[in-house]
């Protein structure tokens, strides 16, 4: 499991740097599956500078572009700008240079500090390999043979927000550093193939961890709690 350490370290910090500064300029809504964090996508796109100069086009190559949202395979503006699209849909987005190629630009095609415009068409959406559940579904999971793993650090845990029966295994310290002994403690409590629900403070980090377990470690029956502990507090969940 050690091969996931760098993976988690990099994408944990990348995730925190996401922004909502991407602007949707135009959209035709599709009727297929919705793009969520960690969806696998096939898209066609045209990339343009603000003066309408085209610097890249998958249409010209005659081949769609395949990638997974949320694992930094694309620029940050794509990570947020495609969320909520649906299969068959099209969207034109404006990406400020800070969420594109930054102050340095990219090669000879994209000058420094270039804001970019992309026309994107979603051809296919494959949902994440892990499953997302909400607070009400968590209540049902507690009556089944699920193992609930609370990965929060000590700063987020109080005597009033502990999930009954959950196993506490902190994944990141309060400075955001991944804890290598997480895997040792995980293996002490979980057998391969058991159904596992990861829980974090607001759901972001648990989704990253769940995706790592599925994509990097080929684990099955992995779940994460949407909106985390904060979401449970909103539905007046019966904490321990």
Mean pLDDT, the chain, integer = 90
The predicted structure's pLDDT at residue 163: 95
Domain boundary among 65, 93, 126: 126
The residue out of 77, 99, 126 marking a domain boundary is 126
Same domain, 120 and 155: no
The whole-number pLDDT of residue 129 equals 95
The bridge status of strand 90-95 relative to strand 167-168 is unpaired
Residue 158: predicted pLDDT: 87
- Structure tokens that stand for 33 in this block: 């599956």
pLDDT in tens, 186-236: 999 999 899 999 999 999 999 999 999 999 889 999 999 999 999 999 999
Q: Which of 192, 51, 46 is nearest to 115 (CA)?
A: 51
**Runs of H (alpha helix) within the chain:** 4-16, 58-61, 76-81, 135-141, 182-189, 204-215, 228-234
> Which of these three, 97, 126, 155, is where a domain ends?
126
How many domains are there within the chain?
2
Q: Is residue 11 assigned to a domain?
A: no
CATH of the domain at 97: 3.10.50.40
What is the mean pLDDT of the segment spanning 45-52?
97
> For residue 11, what pLDDT is reported?
45
Structural domain contains residue 65: yes
Whether residues 155 and 82 fall in one domain: no
Residues spanned by the domain of 194: 131-234
Q: What's the CATH code of the domain at 148? A: 3.40.250.10
The mean pLDDT of 5-16, rounded to a whole number, is 43
Residue 147 vs residues 50, 115, 129, 134: alpha-carbon distances, Å: 51, 46, 18, 15
Q: What is the mean pLDDT of residues 137-153?
A: 94
Residues 148 and 201 in one domain: yes
The pLDDT, as a whole number, for residue 173 is 85
89 part of a folded domain: yes
pLDDT at 7: 46
Same domain, 210 and 164: yes
Compute the distance between CA of residue 140 and CA of residue 135 in angstroms, rounded to an integer. 9
Tell whether 225 and 141 lie within a shared domain: yes
Supply 9's token pair: 């370290």
Is this model's pTM higher than 0.85 or not?
A: no
The reply to whether 27 and 59 lie within a common domain is yes
pLDDT at 110 over 60: yes
Under the banding of pLDDT at 50, 70 and 90, the label for residue 176 is confident
Sign of CA dihedral 55, 60, 62, 64: positive
Asked whether the predicted pLDDT for residue 105 surpasses 70, the reply is yes
Same-domain check for residues 117 and 52: yes
pLDDT band at 4; cut points 50, 70, 90: very low
75 and 169 share a domain? no
Look at residue 180 in the predicted model and tell me its pLDDT. 85
More confident of the two residues 185 and 8: 185
Q: What percent of the chain has pLDDT over 70?
A: 92
- Is residue 87, in this structure, part of any structural domain at all? yes
């Amino acid at each position: 499991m050690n091969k996931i350490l760098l993976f988690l370290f990099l994408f944990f910090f990348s995730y925190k740097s996401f922004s909502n500064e991407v602007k949707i300029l135009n959209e035709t809504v599709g009727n297929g599956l919705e793009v969520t964090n960690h969806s696998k996508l096939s898209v066609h796109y045209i990339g343009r500078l603000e003066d309408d100069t085209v610097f890249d086009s998958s249409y010209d190559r005659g081949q769609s572009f395949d990638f997974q949202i949320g694992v930094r395979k694309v620029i940050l503006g794509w990570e947020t700008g495609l969320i909520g699209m649906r299969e068959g849909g099209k969207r034109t987005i404006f990406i400020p240079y800070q969420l594109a190629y930054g102050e340095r630009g990219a090669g000879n095609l994209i000058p420094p500090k270039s804001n970019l415009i992309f026309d994107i068409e979603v051809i296919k959406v494959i949902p994440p390999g892990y499953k997302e559940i909400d607070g009400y579904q968590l209540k049902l999971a507690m009556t089944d043979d699920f193992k609930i793993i609370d990965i929060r650090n000590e700063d987020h845990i109080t005597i009033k927000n502990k999930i009954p029966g959950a196993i506490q295994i902190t994944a990141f310290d309060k400075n955001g550093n991944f804890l290598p002994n997480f895997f040792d403690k995980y293996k002490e409590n979980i057998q391969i193939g058991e159904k596992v629900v990861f829980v974090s403070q607001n759901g972001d980090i648990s989704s990253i961890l769940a995706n790592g377990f599925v994509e990097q470690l080929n684990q099955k029956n992995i779940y994460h709690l949407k909106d985390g502990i904060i979401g449970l507090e909103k539905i007046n969940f019966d904490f321990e």
